[in-house]
Chains A and B, each alone.
Chain A
Amino acid sequence: MVETSETTACTPACTEKNIRMFVQNLNVHFGDNHVLKEVSIDIICNSITALIGPSGCGKSTFIRCLDRMNDIIPSARVSGNIHLDNKNIYDPDYEPFDLRKKVGMVFQKPNPFPKSIFENLAFGLRIHGIRKKDEIDKKVVKALQAAALWDEVKDRLHASAFSLSGGQQQRLCIARTLAIEPEVILFDEPCSALDPISTSKIEELMITLKEKYTIVIVTHNLQQAVRISDYTGFLYLGKLIEYGETKQLFTNPKDKLTEKYITGRFG
């Protein structure tokens, strides 16, 4: 298991081991297809956890379990335990939309709503019951600043979100997630549709965000995992092959398969 060296302040209080989410014996089937097999991971508070592995290994399926996004897919069957702040998120009483307020998601392709920049953020606030105009205004500005987008859009908040560049759109999607003040943010290959400059901006952003949030990222880019993550999990054919501190996993992998993958001999 993972050791945490530093004690970080989490909101709300984390468990004594600094675990924000823990996943136990997670199995996912799509129809007859067994996509995830007995995956167990602890997601550590205020850190970046990266998931790597070849295409089709179940990374995206895994991350989509953490905010129950797979619920939308009719053929998906999920079993096992995923706890957030010591509550089982697959408990029948746990409403997915309450969960997704706490666990936000940024998708592979920037997918802003077909609305103005401002409305993209205000929508999320309104559906969670924030009605006062000045409160919405304040939170929108705060989220745009936190996503390092404010300076670029402050003069055109009411322009269409589609007038932004791809990288800006992705930061808008991050701001949209930040606006509703989640605890965990999931990134599903957030840079795969972006150019290198936009990518490095998003990476910097993620590193600043981990002070306040717990981040899980799926990435195809091993360099990216090395650059930004604290912990890395290697998935292969639906199994978690190895999980540990990023530095250790990339410099001194315990498993032969991990070593082969990170040295580029398959994948």
Chain B
Amino acid sequence: MLTETMCLTKNPESSMTDSSKRRKLVQMVGISVLIISLMITIFFLFVIVIWVTVRGAGVISWEFLTAMPRKAMTQGGIFPAILGTFYLSLGAVIFALPLGILSAIYLNEYAGNNIIVRIIKMGINNLAGVPSIVFGLFGLAIFVKFLGFGVSILSGALTLAIMILPVIISTTVEALKAIPDSFREAGYGVGATKWQIVKGIILPTALPGILTGTILGIGRAAGETAPILFTAATFFSKRLPKSIFDEVLALPYHIYALMTEGTHPDAQVPIAYGTALVLLMLVLGLDVVAIIIRTRTRKKKLW
């Protein structure tokens, strides 16, 4: 009876029942909450980038990027820190990339799906969530002390490598999973062995995905302070590192040093922001490279 009277009313506005008005209101409130959440997130991201840029851009110059620090870090540049971060990231990739890719291939292509494999996969995923200071302590105990590498590029790079291994393994596994089984079948169909299929078809096809994950992993490693705190970084060095057994300056640790050590905060704080800006640009630059690789392969992807 009620609905019938509703339908008979002539004014379309009044044909809206209380319930549909309420539903429309709830819908609008819901969307607003989503939009506001997004705005807050974007706001903070922008504030960070703008804040660091405004405070740090003043000190950036060619000399700042290429010179050694002078007068107890109150003048000069941050070249050794840039170089140190480069060495540490490169070292981490050299160790972690082959190990990570090969482990992922075994896990995804060969290991099957028994309980042990599942536990290993779960362990790797959990490893990615371990606080980086824990990796730092581990690096100190194993590489610096036990293996006797000392506080050095080698110890730091190995520690960072272990930290990004789970990231590389899980992104590689995801990239391998995304390859359709029909490619594997086709490979068997022409008489290829599993290894020939993996090497000749699966790996080249998955490579862009693997690289994307790896680059994001490097981005994370480059910005970490805790893993290199006890294993590689030093406050100050008069010369550039000569071998992998030398300690180095590194960008994130240099910021920490500028903010906590020394006696001239008025001169050191702007340099710290400049250093932060360089680090930020470096990490964003790596992310852009990853995004470019990803979009280019998406365009080519036709299966």
Instruction: Identify the A interface with B (CB < 8 A).
Output: 67, 69, 72, 74, 96-101, 104-107, 109, 111-115, 123-124, 126-128, 160, 162, 173, 176-177, 180
Contact = CB atoms under 8 A, between A and B. Distances in A.
Given A114-B303, A160-B302, A105 B189 contact: yes
A100 B191 contact: yes
B186 A107 contact: yes
Contacts of B148: none
27 contacts: A67-B189, A98-B191, A99-B191, A100-B188, A100-B189, A100-B190, A104-B189, A106-B189, A111-B185, A113-B183, A114-B201, A114-B205, A115-B204, A123-B190, A123-B192, A124-B191, A124-B192, A126-B200, A127-B191, A127-B192, A127-B193, A127-B196, A160-B302, A162-B302, A176-B186, A176-B190, A177-B189
Interface of B: 112, 182-183, 185-193, 196, 200-201, 204-205, 300, 302-303
Nearest to B301: A114
Contacts of A74: 112
Contact of B191 (A109, A128, A162): A128
Contacts of B183: 111, 113-114
Contacts of B196: 127
Chain B interface, >50% SS class: helix
A113 B182 CA distance: 9
Contacts of B182: 107, 109, 111
A115 B207 CA distance: 13
B191 A101 contact: yes
Nearest to A179: B190
B58 to A, nearest CB: 50
A180 B201 contact: no
Contact of B190 (A72, A114, A162, A180): A180
A104 to B, nearest CB: 7
Given A107-B182, A111-B183, A123 B189 contact: no
Given A123-B200, A162-B303, A113 B186 contact: yes
Contacts of A69: 185, 188-189
Given A107-B182, A127-B193, 16 more contacts: A72-B188, A74-B112, A97-B193, A100-B189, A100-B191, A107-B186, A111-B182, A113-B183, A114-B183, A114-B302, A127-B191, A127-B200, A162-B303, A173-B186, A176-B190, A180-B190
A180 B191 contact: yes
Contact of B201 (A97, A98, A123, A162): A123
Nearest to B112: A74
Contacts of B303: 114, 162
Contact of B186 (A97, A98, A111, A162): A111
A240 B170 CA distance: 47
A67 to B, nearest CB: 7
Given A100-B189, A104-B189, A180-B190, A160 B201 contact: no
A127 B190 contact: yes
Q: Which 10 A-B pairs have the closest CB atoms?
A: A162-B302, A100-B191, A124-B190, A101-B191, A111-B182, A105-B189, A111-B186, A97-B191, A127-B196, A127-B192
Nearest to B201: A113
Contacts of B190: 100-101, 104, 123-124, 127, 176-177, 180
A113 B204 CA distance: 11
Contacts of A104: 189-190
A100 B194 CA distance: 13
B43 to A, nearest CB: 42
A165 to B, nearest CB: 12
A177 B186 CA distance: 10
Nearest to A113: B201
B185 A107 contact: yes
Nearest to A97: B191
Contacts of B188: 69, 72, 96-97, 100
A113 B196 CA distance: 13
Contact of B300 (A97, A123, A160): A160
A212 to B, nearest CB: 18
Contacts of B192: 97, 123-124, 127
Contacts of A176: 186, 190
A128 B303 CA distance: 26
Nearest to A98: B191
B175 to A, nearest CB: 13
A139 B186 CA distance: 19
Residue from the set B183, B190, B201 with the largest chain A CB neighbour count within 10 Å: B190
A101 B200 CA distance: 17
A46 B229 CA distance: 73
B179 to A, nearest CB: 9
A132 B100 CA distance: 34
Residue from the set A67, A96, A100, A106 with the largest chain B CB neighbour count within 10 Å: A100
B186 A112 contact: yes
Contacts of B204: 115
